[in-house]
A and B are shown apart, each in its own frame.
Chain A
Amino acid sequence: EDQVTQSPEALRLQEGESSSLNCSYTVSGLRGLFWYRQDPGKGPEFLFTLYSAGEEKEKERLKATLTKKESFLHITAPKPEDSATYLCAVHRGQAGTALIFGKGTTLSVSS
């Protein structure tokens, strides 16, 4: 069964304390892995798309990487405004199938 697991469920960091969020997946034929950020009461905001193992993408303090079994979202020197829930989703091989989302990692960054 296709599955997406994110860890940890919650992460508390001090401002400037770098860390990584994990997204492990088991899908048949990955067509794309997506990272989203969601603030309370709002819809998810698109961050990155990764298509193949070895691919990396960066945006400000965030860097996403992809292997054949997992993806990492690295957060460098986080600020309080980075506090949010980060969601990982995968699109598997069969065209027309939906995104499968993980439960998310809730990040809290304190100053």
Chain B
Amino acid sequence: KAGVTQTPRYLIKTRGQQVTLSCSPISGHRSVSWYQQTPGQGLQFLFEYFSETQRNKGNFPGRFSGRQFSNSRSEMNVSTLELGDSALYLCASRNLRGTQEDEQYFGPGTRLTVT
């Protein structure tokens, strides 16, 4: 089974621009979560989508948004980029089968650099 894929892998943007990152989950996984990872803050949750609906959202400003398509693929968008948005953006998918929490499987990430 193919793993979680993310595109692009690397991105350089200028302050004020916007960016869209893409994530394809493991086949059969309907839940997709996004995380931001920085050296200072570690891994921080952005949002989770399940069946095209946002299921949960972290404490990030409204400049960060996402969506999920009917094939479970997801995109996240960051508008009006700031220098502090430079980070590794990770996507994770999981199965959500039952009452226990299923493990999340992460993609390789998109390294975003804002100059």
Chain A residues in the interface with B (C-beta under 8 A) = 31-32, 34, 36, 41-46, 49, 51, 87, 89, 91, 96-104
Report which of B33, B101, B108 forms a contact with A43, defined as CB distance below 8 A.
B108
Chain B residues with Cβ below 8 Å from A91 are: 101
Tell me whether B100 and A31 are in contact (CB under 8 A): yes
* Chain B: minimal CB distance from A84 (Å): 14
Q: Does B32 contact A (CB under 8 A)?
A: no
Tell me whether B42 and A96 are in contact (CB under 8 A): no
Q: Does B21 contact A (CB under 8 A)?
A: no
Tell me whether A99 and B100 are in contact (CB under 8 A): no
Chain B residues with Cβ below 8 Å from A46 are: 103-106
Tell me whether A103 and B45 are in contact (CB under 8 A): no
Tell me whether B45 and A43 are in contact (CB under 8 A): no
Interface residues on B, range: 20 to 34
Number of contacts between A and B (CB, 8 Å)? Answer: 54
A98 nearest CB neighbor, chain B only: B45
In the complex, what distance in Å separates the CA atom of A22 from the CA atom of B103? 20
Task: Knowing A98-B58, A101-B42, A101-B43, say if A34 contacts B100 (CB, 8 Å).
Answer: no
Tell me whether B42 and A102 are in contact (CB under 8 A): yes
Tell me whether B106 and A99 are in contact (CB under 8 A): no
Report which of A34, A41, A98, A104 forms a contact with B103, defined as CB distance below 8 A.
A34
* Chain A: minimal CB distance from B104 (Å): 7
A91 nearest CB neighbor, chain B only: B101
Chain B residues with Cβ below 8 Å from A42 are: 108-109
In the complex, what distance in Å separates the CA atom of A45 from the CA atom of B55? 23
Q: Does B56 contact A (CB under 8 A)?
A: yes
Chain A residues with Cβ below 8 Å from B90 are: 43-44
In the complex, what distance in Å separates the CA atom of A49 from the CA atom of B4? 19
Tell me whether A31 and B42 are in contact (CB under 8 A): no
Report which of A44, A45, A98 forms a contact with B56, defined as CB distance below 8 A.
A98
A-facing mask of B28-49, CB < 8 A → 1, else 0?
A: 0000010100000011110010
Report which of B4, B43, B100, B108 forms a contact with A32, defined as CB distance below 8 A.
B100
Report which of A34, A36, A43, A103 forms a contact with B109, defined as CB distance below 8 A.
A43
In the complex, what distance in Å separates the CA atom of A51 from the CA atom of B42? 23
